[in-house]
Amino acid sequence: MALCSALILISGANAQNWSSSTVIGTSRAGRPIEVRTLGAPGTDDLGRTRDERPALLIVAGVQGQHAIGRLAARGVGERLLEGHRDLLESHTVYIIDTLNPDAAGWLSGRVAMEFGRTLTPTDADHDGRLDEDGADDLNADGQITMMRVANPGAGSGLTAEWVIDEVEPRLMRKPKSEDGEVATHALLIEGTDNDGDGAFNEDGPGGSGGGGVSLDMNFPSHYDEHSDGSGLYTTSEPETRAIIDWLLTRDNIVASVVYGVHDNLVNTPATGKFDKSGRMPTGLEKGDEPMHKAIGKVFTEITAMKEAPKLDTDGSLVSYLYSDFGIWAFATPVWVRPDLVKSDSDEKSDDEGADAGKEGDADAPPDEAEILRDQGVPEFIVEFLTASEEDRADIMSGFESLSPDEQASRMQQMSELPKDIRTRVMAIAQGGDDPGMVMPDGAEGDEEDGEKDKKDKDKSKGDKDELAWLKYSDDERDSSGFVDWVEVDHPQLGAVEVGGFVPGFRVNPPEENAEAMFMQQTEFISALLAKLPSLIVSEPEAQRLGEGLWRIRVRAENPGLLPTRSAMGAKARRISPVVISIDLEPDAIVSGARNRQFWSIEGSGGHSECEWIVRARAGETITITTRSSVFGDRTGRVELKEGR
């Protein structure tokens, strides 16, 4: 991007001292992962270097296809150095613009794909072969789009589940079976069944259809084990470990912004929702909601975004930064489709956008067994209904070995079940398929079923979205965002059509819009920097209470807007609190603990007082030490004077 390079030239020499780069690890393919540190050179008046001042972290390039994030992270860095050095005096900004360099490199050098996973070799289909069946560019247009197959033959292994939309024939939709409509097409990612196993593109390098590892699924928070793209285990990827290992040496980072495919600024995450342990929030801790919303408001005022894709918490970086690392974690896609941004003519109320996040946030699925028990279902039925298919067979054969009395008692209990449950039990017992349980609104089934529901939900939203994307492509991008369907002779399926959205089109703005995005993000980051917490510890004061007895007092104040630690940070307790300690022998302290711990000090002038009564002689100097790996250590002294 020409503008970017120009800015680097302008800031060039002068920026050197204000910015430095460090390699924090290497990708699986050996590419460096770099962090850029921005901040005033040398030490500040508290004697702190850049790495000892409260800091904001910006991370981008977690997913390969999200080019705008990488550019924005770099662009914001340049603009901060250019025009906001005042903010870099008291705070530091760390920028990792490309956490996943392999995916970025992979996408730029080869056939374009929608996915941006790592190149980790995988056996996604468990057939003993690695990366053997990726997507294929059938129409040789340099990109992987979709493939639709009319009336797939019996031998194809494909099922027709779609019809061509009569209003917009470029789009596919699910048939209206209630009107007697019959599916005509199978829809899948462009490619062949390279390994002849009947499945298409199920195990390709970089996750073109399956396989690879999505770094945004590989972090430990809410990790979805054994799912496609999540990796061999949580933190299995060198990129994941590189950033975590580095973060663990940077206690001074208090807030973060992730540029990626998700948002939690327009959509405020829900509160009161936790993982299965009941302790790790899937959204926000209650105590963090007001400040998170306040930051969200600043963001939407700057960007005018009304809607943005919600945050997917399973193993994501943002989730980790908030619910494990314990810092403020914000996420934005940087750019959204123009109709999702408020225009001047838009008269909708301000609140609309914020409300979008309310429904359907990720939630720990309720336990099916508990729901059944709530309905008064006896335990043996609960066990039966929640068992796997094989286990049910076991339970049924166990039933036959019960005494006649026990059998009769159980039949009686069964006849008293609510009708839907009784029907379900009978259907299964007679060898039919489980009709599944009727869940209360918003609830999901066990882990596997829950996953499916979620994906289906996303899909139905997708239909509506796709039309809007197509309209945007036609009206504002000269139809460049969609490859029209063309017939291709498929080596295995015969005549098929290939077409669909251009990879990356739906996450990246046209080049001419990028500059505006950088301006917006710089404004937001600047605003956020100004709100970061700080810690001012007053010089100690001494008051003579009597012969050899003194009251010593200091005050710790946070002039920032955000508290010194989020509610989540205080809960996670990853970092030791601010400790203010009086350097006296325990015997000399009459009142007050020698070490005072402050887990959090509210923002906007919030403060904490520390007082001790000590025995000491006039003329002695009392030393107060403040220890904080976030805000830096410092020492204050007061000489005890008889007159005071």
Partner 1 sequence: MKRTRNMLIGAAAALLTSPAIAQEHIPGKVEIPFNRYNTYVELESHLKALAAAYPDLIELRSIGKSGQGRDMWLAIINSPKTGPHESKPAMWIDGNIHANEIQGAETVLYSIWYLTKAYGVNEDLTKLLDTYSFYMLPCVNPDSRSYFFEHEGTPHFPRWNQRPVDNDRDGLVDEDGPDDLDGDGSITTMWKEDPNGRWRRDRDDPRIFTRVAADEKGDWTYLGQEGIDNDGDGRTNEDGPGGDDMNRNWPGDWKPNYIQYGAGTYPFSNPETRAIGTWMYDHPNIAAYQSYHNSGGMILRGPGASYMAPRYPQQDKRVYDEIGRLGELILPYYDYLIIHKDLYDVHGGEATWAGESLGIISFTNELWTAGKYFQRDNERPSSEQMWTFRDKLQFGQAYTPLTEYDHPEHGKVLIGGLNKYSARNTPTFMLEEECHRNFAFTMFHADQMPTLSFEKIEVEHAGGRLWTVTVEVRNEKLIPTRTGVAKKRGIGANDRIVLEGAQVVASGSLSSWRDKTISEVRHEPGRVQLASGIGSRSSVIHRFYVQGDEGDRLTVRLESEKALNIETEITLKTDE
Taking the complex as a whole, how short is the minimal distance between the CB of residue 209 and partner 1, in angstroms? 16
> Diameter of the chain by CA atoms?
101
Residue placing its CB nearer to partner 1 in the complex, 353 or 569: 569
Q: Among residues 73, 571, 601, 631, which is the contact residue for partner 1, using CB under 8 A?
A: 571
Enumerate residues 585-644 that contact partner 1 by CB under 8 A. 585-586, 593-595, 597, 627-629
Q: Residues 316, 223: contact at Cβ < 8 Å?
A: no
Work out whether 198 is an interface residue with partner 1 (CB under 8 A).
yes
| Site mask for partner 1 (CB under 8 A), range 467-506, x = bound | ----------------------------------------
CA–CA dist 636, 626 (Å, integer): 8
Of 507, 520, 498, 529, the C-alpha closest to 91 is 529
Length of the chain: 644
Enumerate residues 26-85 that contact partner 1 by CB under 8 A. none
CA–CA dist 126, 581 (Å, integer): 58
Q: Among residues 20, 184, 271, 581, which is the contact residue for partner 1, using CB under 8 A?
A: 581
Q: Which stretch binds partner 1 (CB under 8 A): 18-26, 71-79, 236-244, 347-355?
A: 236-244
Residue placing its CB nearer to partner 1 in the complex, 114 or 133: 133
Q: Among residues 82, 367, 449, 453, which is the contact residue for partner 1, using CB under 8 A?
A: 367
According to DSSP, the β-strands at 541-546 and 549-558 are antiparallel
Work out whether 235 is an interface residue with partner 1 (CB under 8 A).
yes
| Site mask for partner 1 (CB under 8 A), range 528-567, x = bound | ----------------------------------------
Residue placing its CB nearer to partner 1 in the complex, 283 or 309: 283
CA–CA dist 55, 247 (Å, integer): 11
Beta-bridged to residue 489, according to DSSP, are: 495
* Whole-number Cα distances in Å, 291 to 67, 268, 625: 29, 11, 30
Taking the complex as a whole, how short is the minimal distance between the CB of residue 128 and partner 1, in angstroms? 4
Enumerate residues 270-289 that contact partner 1 by CB under 8 A. 276-277, 279-280
Of 453, 264, 292, 270, the C-alpha closest to 361 is 270
Determine the Cα angle at 402 with ends 397 and 408, to 5°.
110
Residue placing its CB nearer to partner 1 in the complex, 142 or 494: 494
Q: Among residues 579, 613, 616, 618, which is the contact residue for partner 1, using CB under 8 A?
A: 579
Q: Helix 419-429 vs helix 379-386: angle between axes, to the nearest 10 degrees?
A: 60
CA–CA dist 344, 355 (Å, integer): 20
Of 476, 461, 473, the C-alpha closest to 502 is 473
CA–CA dist 444, 366 (Å, integer): 7
Work out whether 137 is an interface residue with partner 1 (CB under 8 A).
no
Q: Which residues bind partner 1 (CB under 8 A)?
A: 123, 126-128, 155, 157, 193, 195-198, 220, 223, 225-226, 232-236, 241, 244, 248, 276-277, 279-280, 324, 367, 387-388, 390-391, 394, 446-447, 571-574, 576-577, 579, 581, 585-586, 593-595, 597, 627-629
